[in-house]
Amino acid sequence: MSSSFGRLPRPDRMCRPRSLALRLAVTTTISAFAILAALVSLTYWGIAGHLRGLNSLYLHDELKVAEILVRSEDYRSELMREIETDHGGDDYVKHAIRLQDRTGATVIETPGMKDLLPAEIFPAAARRSGAGDDRTWTAPDGSIHLLTSVRADVGKAGGDWGNLQVALDVTNVEYILVTLRKNLIASLLAGVILCLAAGLAVARQGTRPLREITSEVTGISASRLSRRISGSSWPSELESLAAALNGMLERLEDSFARLSNSATNLAHKLRTPLTILRGEAEVALSAERTPDELRDVLESSLEEYGRISHMTDNILFLARAETGKFHAVPVSINACEEIAKVAEYYEPVAEEKKIGLSCHGEMAMIADPVLFRRAVANLVSNAITYTPQGGNVSVTATTGADGSVTVTVTDSGPGIPGAEFDKIFDLFYRVYSTRFMDPGGSGLGLAVVKAIMDLHNGSISLTSAPGEGTTAILSFPSAC
């Protein structure tokens, strides 16, 4: 069951910006944000850890002093002196001390501590100094305190103990950290916005050559296929793209030229037989004809019909082979048996021209039998057609050590000039000096052979010298 939902783009694709510049800018910004966020967090946690560590050190120093004081003979007045000294100072770091007896009743404490920092909010007293957890507490007035508590020996005599609770006002440090946090987040956001803007500007600048290439390519139409993407100042990444596009344009131009040549040639090739057919029909209709006369006209027309049909058949085959719509069906065949069938077909023509036709070789190979015969027939037909009376044509099949098969068609005809080799496989191409030998030729035979060899992953090559005959070599790979 098909549904229109299937055509919806994937959600991740939908979110991705379409503009390459924007995509680059967003990617850069996200990366920059991640790096900045990591650096900012590390910086913040470094500073916060350091400041809080200092506070903790200070708190525990105070705790140690208090522990020493409560172990003295006159610990009450010693502790009171300490409390008064601290409480009376104008140092911004304030701390408060409370001593409880073993029942938990307050023995002595910093004035005002009872309301701001009641005994219950302190962590449980540690067995010894530094062994317990500290706690951070926000008092009702908004001030923030670091609290610690320890069980301490009380009095010089020993044996008695109580709880010491010490609090350190860390409001200033926490306030500094909050402000620092806000500033860092604001800087991070500003950095991200600036990074996005800068990334967009840089990406726009960086993708400008792409827009330039696009506008150059846009200006190339079918009638201007000779134009190329100009300039050698492309960035190295785009140089290969420009070269690839130029290569593609070259191939397109070539194909276009060949297409238009082929169309013109096709029209020319069809014009002659069609003109003959029309002329014959007009002559036949111009007067009263006997059935025998009409039969003659039809018989002579048949030859032209055959030529047109053969040509269209070849063109259709070439078009289908080139577009991949035609596939060879390779099977195991006996090369010489197939060659013999072709030779048998051409025997009468060869005899008529007194041309000796010989065939050598015996081997099994893999090929499409119909296409194999068609390729060999085209070459034998050329050899017989272009070899004058009394000449020789031989067909040989040999097998290589790797299992590849080579079929050679050699004749003793006029040969093909070397300068023509480049064009000999082009559609409708005929060699000027020999075309008179076959006025009905179309110039499609060798193109068909090449297409057949391509379908077999093989190749065709020609060796020839004027006046010394021609050898056409078909090379079939071991497994085609």
Ligand X SMILES: Nc1ncnc2c1ncn2[C@@H]1O[C@H](COP(=O)(O)OP(=O)(O)O)[C@@H](O)[C@H]1O
Q: Would you count residue 446 as binding ligand X (CB under 6 A)? A: yes
442 binds, options ligand X, Mg ion, none, Cβ within 5 to 8 A by partner type: ligand X
Q: Would you count residue 441 as binding ligand X (CB under 6 A)? A: yes
In order, the DSSP letters of 290-309 are -HHHHHHHHHHHHHHHHHHH
Task: Give the tokens for residue 274.
Answer: 């069609």
Secondary structure letter of residue 71 according to DSSP: T
Task: Give the tokens for residue 133.
Answer: 């957890």
Closest contact distance (angstroms) between CB of 334 and Mg ion is: 25
273 binds, options Mg ion, ligand X, none, Cβ within 5 to 8 A by partner type: none
Contact assessment for residue 149 and residue 123, using Cβ atoms and an 8 Å cutoff:
yes
Scanning 164-172, 233-241, 342-350, 381-389 for contacts with ligand X by CB under 6 A, the matching segment is 381-389
Q: Would you count residue 413 as binding ligand X (CB under 6 A)? A: yes
Q: Would you give the end-to-end CA distance of the chain in angstroms?
A: 41
Closest contact distance (angstroms) between CB of 386 and Mg ion is: 8
The values of phi and psi at residue 139, to 5°, are -75, 165
Q: Which of 408, 470, 474, 476 binds ligand X (CB under 6 A)?
A: 470
Closest contact distance (angstroms) between CB of 336 and ligand X is: 21
Q: Would you count residue 445 as binding ligand X (CB under 6 A)? A: yes
Burial of 23 (0-12, 13-18, 19+ CB in 10 A): middle
Closest contact distance (angstroms) between CB of 412 and ligand X is: 10
- SS3 state of residue 10: coil
413 binds, options ligand X, Mg ion, none, Cβ within 5 to 8 A by partner type: ligand X
Residues whose CB falls within 8 Å of the CB of residue 83, separated by 6 or more in sequence, listed in order = 96, 97, 108, 109, 110, 111
Alpha-carbon distance of 455 to 450, in angstroms, equals 9
Scanning 143-151, 201-209, 263-271, 375-383 for contacts with ligand X by CB under 6 A, the matching segment is 375-383
Closest contact distance (angstroms) between CB of 427 and ligand X is: 9
Helical spans, DSSP H, in 16-167: 20-70, 75-88, 113-116
Closest contact distance (angstroms) between CB of 470 and ligand X is: 4
Q: Which long-range contacts (CB under 8 A, 24 or more apart) does 179-188 make?
A: 180/44, 180/47, 180/48, 181/44, 184/40, 184/43, 184/44, 185/40, 187/40, 188/33, 188/36, 188/37, 188/40
Find tokens 């840089």 and name the residue: 202
Closest contact distance (angstroms) between CB of 424 and ligand X is: 5
User: Is the CB of 19 or the CB of 309 nearer to ligand X?
Assistant: 309
Scanning 170-178, 273-281, 334-342, 433-441 for contacts with ligand X by CB under 6 A, the matching segment is 433-441
Q: Would you count residue 414 as binding ligand X (CB under 6 A)? A: yes
User: Is the CB of 417 or the CB of 477 nearer to ligand X?
Assistant: 417
Secondary structure letter of residue 124 according to DSSP: P
Residue number, nearest CB to ligand X? 445
Strands 106-109 and 459-464: unpaired
Q: Would you count residue 431 as binding ligand X (CB under 6 A)? A: yes
The site map against ligand X for 318-337 (x = CB under 6 A) is --------------------
Scanning 60-68, 191-199, 286-294, 427-435 for contacts with ligand X by CB under 6 A, the matching segment is 427-435
Q: Which of 63, 200, 380, 383 binds ligand X (CB under 6 A)?
A: 383
Instruction: Provide the edge-to-edge strand list for the sheet that holds 160-169.
Output: 106-109, 95-101, 160-169, 144-154, 135-138
Q: Would you count residue 382 as binding ligand X (CB under 6 A)? A: yes
Alpha-carbon distance of 318 to 310, in angstroms, equals 12
466-to-93, 407, 417, 431, 442 alpha-carbon distances in Å: 111, 22, 6, 12, 22
Report the half-sphere exposure of 199 (CA within 13 A, side-chain side). 20
User: Is the CB of 59 or the CB of 311 nearer to Mg ion?
Assistant: 311
Residue number, nearest CB to Mg ion? 445
Q: Which of 386, 458, 460, 474 binds ligand X (CB under 6 A)?
A: 386
Q: Would you count residue 435 as binding ligand X (CB under 6 A)? A: yes
Residues whose CB falls within 8 Å of the CB of residue 95, separated by 6 or more in sequence, listed in order = 58, 59, 62, 86, 110, 166, 167, 168, 169
User: Is the CB of 110 or the CB of 314 nearer to ligand X?
Assistant: 314
Closest contact distance (angstroms) between CB of 425 and ligand X is: 8
- SS3 state of residue 109: strand
Q: Would you count residue 424 as binding ligand X (CB under 6 A)? A: yes
Closest contact distance (angstroms) between CB of 404 and ligand X is: 23
Q: Which of 60, 94, 269, 430 binds ligand X (CB under 6 A)?
A: 430
Contact assessment for residue 417 and residue 463, using Cβ atoms and an 8 Å cutoff:
no
In the complex, the residues that contact Mg ion under the rule CB under 5 A are: 382, 445
Closest contact distance (angstroms) between CB of 343 and ligand X is: 16
209 binds, options ligand X, Mg ion, none, Cβ within 5 to 8 A by partner type: none
Closest contact distance (angstroms) between CB of 353 and ligand X is: 13
User: Is the CB of 24 or the CB of 447 nearer to ligand X?
Assistant: 447
| Residues lying near ligand X in the complex (CB under 6 A) | 378, 382-383, 386, 411, 413-414, 416, 424, 430-431, 434-435, 438, 441-446, 470
